[in-house]
Amino acid sequence: MNEHRTLTPFAVSSIDDAFRSLIRPWRFELPEVAPRIRIDLMEDDARYAVKAEIPGVNKDDIEVRVDGGTVTISAEVKSDHTEKGNGGRVLHQEREQGYASRTFTLGCPVDETGVQASYKDGILALTLPKKTGKGSQRIAIA
C-alpha cells in the first residue's frame, strides 16, 4: 500500500514551529461598520413613499433632511452590549459606534411642509408629498 507524505524541509519540530510562526499570515480584525441604510422607494401621482431599514438605531439618532428633490437620511449608531457570568463579573463587553448616511434625488421637488416620518422596529417610513404646480410645460415654437 502506498502512503502519501508531505515533505517539509524543516522537519525538526522546534525549527518548524519557529519558522511557521514567522511566515504565518498576519491577522487584522477590522472594526464592524455602521449599518448600511437600505431603502425602498415608491411613487404615485401625489407623493413618494420611502421605507428605510436602519436596524439597531434609536429614533433620536436619526436625521432626515429634505432640500427640494434631494433627501438625506443619516443615522448614528451608539450601542453597548455586556454579557455577565454567574458571579456578576464582566466576561465580555463590546461597544459599537458609527455613522451611516444615504442621499438620493427624486424626480420632482418635495413639499417640505407635508413630510411625515415614523420609525418602528428598525424601519423608517417617510411620506414625501410632491409640490403642486404646473412643473414643466411644453413651449410652442413660433
- pLDDT digits over 75-86, tens only? 987 766 555 556
Whole-number pLDDT of residue 46: 92
Whole-number pLDDT of residue 25: 57
Cell numbers of 84, please?
455577565
Backbone angles phi, psi at 14, to 5 degrees: -70, -40
As a whole number of angstroms, the distance between CA 52 and CA 59 comes to: 13
Whole-number pLDDT of residue 40: 96
Cross-strand bridge partners of residue 70: 67, 105
Whether the pLDDT of residue 24 is over 60: the answer is: no
Whole-number pLDDT of residue 133: 67
Whether the pLDDT of residue 110 is over 70: the answer is: yes
Cell numbers of 6, please?
508531505
The string of DSSP letters for 102-131 reads EEEE-SS-B-GGG-EEEEETTEEEEEEEBP
User: SS3 for 140?
Assistant: coil
As a whole number of angstroms, the distance between CA 57 and CA 122 comes to: 7
Q: Which residue has the higher pLDDT, 51 or 9?
A: 51
Q: What percent of the chain clears pLDDT 90, i.e. is strictly above it?
A: 35
As a whole number of angstroms, the distance between CA 37 and CA 72 comes to: 11
Whole-number pLDDT of residue 132: 79
> Domain map of the chain by residue range?
35-129
Of the chain, the end-to-end C-alpha distance in Å amounts to 97
Most confident of the ranges 6-15, 50-59, 127-136: 50-59
Most confident of the ranges 6-15, 96-105, 117-126: 117-126
Cell numbers of 5, please?
507524505
Cell numbers of 20, please?
511557521
CATH of range 35-129; options 1.10.760.10, 3.50.50.60, 2.60.40.790, 1.20.120.450: 2.60.40.790
As a whole number of angstroms, the distance between CA 115 and CA 106 comes to: 14
Residue 117 · residue 109 · CB < 8 Å = no
